[in-house]
Structure 1
């Protein structure tokens, strides 16, 4: 394994600071620095960008992002044990790494970031989906970030890029594909991590669109999609009866059969239905 910088190999860093991965924090560390650099490259040209990283752990991806030329990395880490190792990286890259010790669900890092901003992270398994939904549903669009390059369990990655008619198709696919171009950039086996998780993982790249793919009110679309997929085995006229009293008329006006089920409905049709419900 060739070095990407002059810092010690990650196995040595973990041994020095006794950073055994904690299941309670959803930690699985990537130790191959060539692999973390490859993941960093999926985020695109970072030379003129600040990068927000969540859950850097011992800093494998952090080093990849910096080695690939990120203007600045803002790393939010909840585990205090990892802070000394991350500070060592900050010393090796003067002025280019800001380490914040705290919970990513509670911290607003915007004060430390200068546009353009990209987000790249090997997300802790226990908060990954919640963070993604937050980034996809800001009060205003376009968001503060240009792109998301995120590691998920393969099952979650498949849900993000799923198409109508598949079992994986649901709310996460609608939220992701309405406002971004989403694709799976690379797959990783359990053996790539320490400790190896029980499932495969994948890196998903989501590029923010200037405008949503189809016009729709965000709150109405979210409410319709949540209701439809909460009872995905039911026909839409039943699963959505609580959304509008005349839901059958709204469905027909949007070009949707009231007897269809949620997993059959493409994004464009959900947006059309949300517009019809908004009218009424």
Structure 2
């Protein structure tokens, strides 16, 4: 089965009245050459279930199926898109199924308990970061690869390395759980309606279990405190996290051998993981 019998996406949008809704951060990618490039970043999908969040009218959905996804499970909150997605499912022999739900509340492993599971999405701008953190926190990782499109600025923050301008909490949380790479840039003009900024695709693969940092909750608290006041030294910026553990920032920094006069952007991910361990030990639970 193929999508050759499906009408062009612009006709689908017009026929069903699917104007993009700003409340959901919707921007449609209709260029099939671009959506195929994104789909190919998933690698071999023939035996996998590919989760897609916010498929909209189905541009990336079609590409995933055309590029050989064994099954696509689309999570769509906006019920307006369901008839258009049903057309795609019929054209591809039922390899697409749709769950009408809020992706932030979905338990993905419960929907597909076994088998290779990937995730590829043009994420809604308003929830992209929250969804990424949700998937990073999953333990054990239920996904084999994430192929995700964000606003370009957010994508740069995901893959940033220590010392770079974009380096911060999101890069550290990502590095604690996965390897990441910047895959491609998509200009604003490629979308309908065009957003005010360019977008970018990043690819993440989970670290081996032995290499994954487990206490993401502690790491999240420490990094939020440290980067909440970027211009201050760690001695001062870690105060909020230290108070939660009934200790001092000096004690945490001494425990980990980090210079109290350093600023957060100069500390590599491993340093923050050490701080998170020290914070957890001081808190005692």
Q: Given the two structures, how large is their TM-score scaled by the length of structure 2?
A: 0.91
- Give 5+ residue unaligned stretches, structure 1: none
**Which residue in the other structure is 2:197 paired with?**
199
User: Which one has a larger percent helix, Structure 1 or Structure 2?
Assistant: 2
- Whether 1:115 and 2:95 are equivalent positions in the alignment is no
Residue 213 of structure 1 deviates from its aligned partner by 4.2
Number of residue pairs matched? Answer: 276
**Which residue in the other structure is 1:271 paired with?**
273
**Which residue in the other structure is 1:84 paired with?**
83
- Whether 1:10 and 2:9 are equivalent positions in the alignment is yes
**Which residue in the other structure is 2:56 paired with?**
57
Structure 1 residues 1-280: aligned runs within 5 Å: 5-113=4-112, 114-138=114-138, 140-141=139-140, 143-211=141-209, 213=211, 215=213, 217-244=215-242, 245-280=247-282
Residue 179 of structure 1 deviates from its aligned partner by 1.0
Residue 131 of structure 1 deviates from its aligned partner by 0.5
SS of the counterpart of 1:105? helix
- Give 5+ residue unaligned stretches, structure 2: none
Tell me the distance in 2 between the aligned counterparts of 1:152 and 1:83: 23
Contact 1:4 1:64 in 2 (8 A): no
Tell me the distance in 1 between the aligned counterparts of 2:210 and 2:171: 14
Contact 2:173 2:216 in 1 (8 A): no
Residue 253 of structure 1 deviates from its aligned partner by 3.1
Tell me the distance in 2 between the aligned counterparts of 1:87 and 1:128: 25
When residues 24 and 250 of structure 1 are mapped into structure 2, their CA distance, relative to the original with a 3 A threshold, is closer
What's the Cα RMSD here? 1.7
Q: Given the two structures, how large is their TM-score scaled by the length of structure 1?
A: 0.93
Contact 2:225 2:239 in 1 (8 A): no
SS of the counterpart of 1:173? helix
